[in-house]
Amino acid sequence: MKRVVAILTVFVLLLCACGKEAPVADSLPDYTAKELALNVIEGINLTEENFQFVNDNYDEAAMAKYIQGFYGLDSENLIDAAIYRSADPLKADEISIFKLSDTVDISMAFNELEEYRHSRQGDFFGYNPEQAFIVDNSIVSLSSDGAWAAVLICENPEDADRAFFSALGMALPEYDEPSVSEGIQSEAIEHSELGELPEYWYPYVDPDIDDMTVWDNAAIVAAVKAGSDAELNAQGKMLYKSLIEIINSIISDDMSELEKEQAVYKWLCTNCQYDYRHYDIPSAAPRESYEPYGAIVKGEAVCLGYATAFQLFMDILDIECITVVGAAFYSREDHAWNMVKIDGEWYCVDATWDCGFVPSHFQFFNVSSEYMALTDHQWDYESYPISLPEEIGSGLIHKLYNW
């Protein structure tokens, strides 16, 4: 259940406008942001060992830049801050506390932290839906006097909010349930192939968070087709060796295009795991995770690594393919996937979002553009073909393709 803390913000602002002070305790504890964060962590029955203290990774100037970049709060609006994020990169848990200056625009601060919370959900959307759900139900909270703000991402955010107010010696405010629809609201999009696209084809805006430059595979494709790695560097030779071994083990000359594509997709989804170092603070995912080397040799990649690896296999096998550089989570997160042309028809595939699943549970193999739009993929709709076949994904492909 999500609670809308914006009501509290309006309440504080109205009190200020009327010349009245918000009701607070006579004597408030004099906490640092770190001490208050640890009180909240204790209140949800966790310990400091469950988290990494992000502040330890930066000096004062770099921390201020980090907070402004991710949370939208500049140093003029902050007195103190403490950011605790889960020590396990697979978990979204976060307790972040900000002591606000008396010059801050409270409404602005709340909206900036809400935007951060939504972007944090995007870090897990598609890759780890359980954690995305936890972020979706998390809370951005403001103290009754407007002096403190908190981002409370955990399994029991209400308990965290209660601990936050209790530590400050304040009564927990009442919150209203959302009264408006949370459905996507956007203008219809024009596309030359389909005319006016439905509203749920969310407008694409480049998130511009990661370097999504697509790896140039021309040299390795030429080497594999020539049967010689003589012109490749050391890393290229390792990739060449892995490619030859994989192709020889999963591909035969009598296979159709579809069977070859199916074999590659199955291998990639079951032999490569997502590189969760991408979510470290700061990100520790190496560039090779954005390229085929990470996916094929190291067995670890982010979305662009999956997509360029699939592209590489298709180019070697002479199957027409495109790497789509787009977005996910309402254009908040960079994302990449592929389109492949099989028997004259374009299909969409997203190996990243099928990684770790057994083939019978693949959801993104040879699906339509409509399906991709419905499952929160955004892209430059005019720059790529539109896949028009009747929908065949969403749990049905194991029957159609005999996985």
> Which two three-digit tokens encode residue 165?
């107010």
> Which two three-digit tokens encode residue 193?
């192939």
Given a cut of 50, is residue 8 above it in pLDDT?
no
The Cα–Cα gap between 139 and 91 comes to 16
Q: pLDDT tens, 157-211?
A: 999 999 999 999 998 876 554 333 333 333 445 555 556 777 778 899 999 989 9
- What is the predicted pLDDT for the residue at 139? 94
- What is the predicted pLDDT for the residue at 178? 39
Q: pLDDT tens, 354-400?
A: 998 888 889 899 999 988 998 889 999 999 998 876 544 443 444 45
Convert 7-22 to b/e letters by CB count within 10 Å (16 or more is b): ebbeebeebeeeeeeb
- What is the predicted pLDDT for the residue at 118? 83
Pairing state between β 300-301 and 273-274 = parallel
Model pTM score: 0.67
- What is the predicted pLDDT for the residue at 302? 96
**DSSP structure string for 235-282:** HHHHHHHHHHHHHHHH--TT--HHHHHHHHHHHHHHH-EE-GGGGSSS
Q: What is the DSSP letter of 290?
A: G
Pairing state between β 189-191 and 195-197 = antiparallel
299: Cβ–Cβ under 8 A, 6 or more apart, which residues?
Answer: 271, 272, 273
Backbone phi and psi for residue 254, each to the nearest 5 degrees, phi listed first = -85, 0
- What is the predicted pLDDT for the residue at 70? 86
Given a cut of 60, is residue 18 above it in pLDDT?
no
* Percent share of the chain, pLDDT over 70: 83
Mean pLDDT of the chain: 85
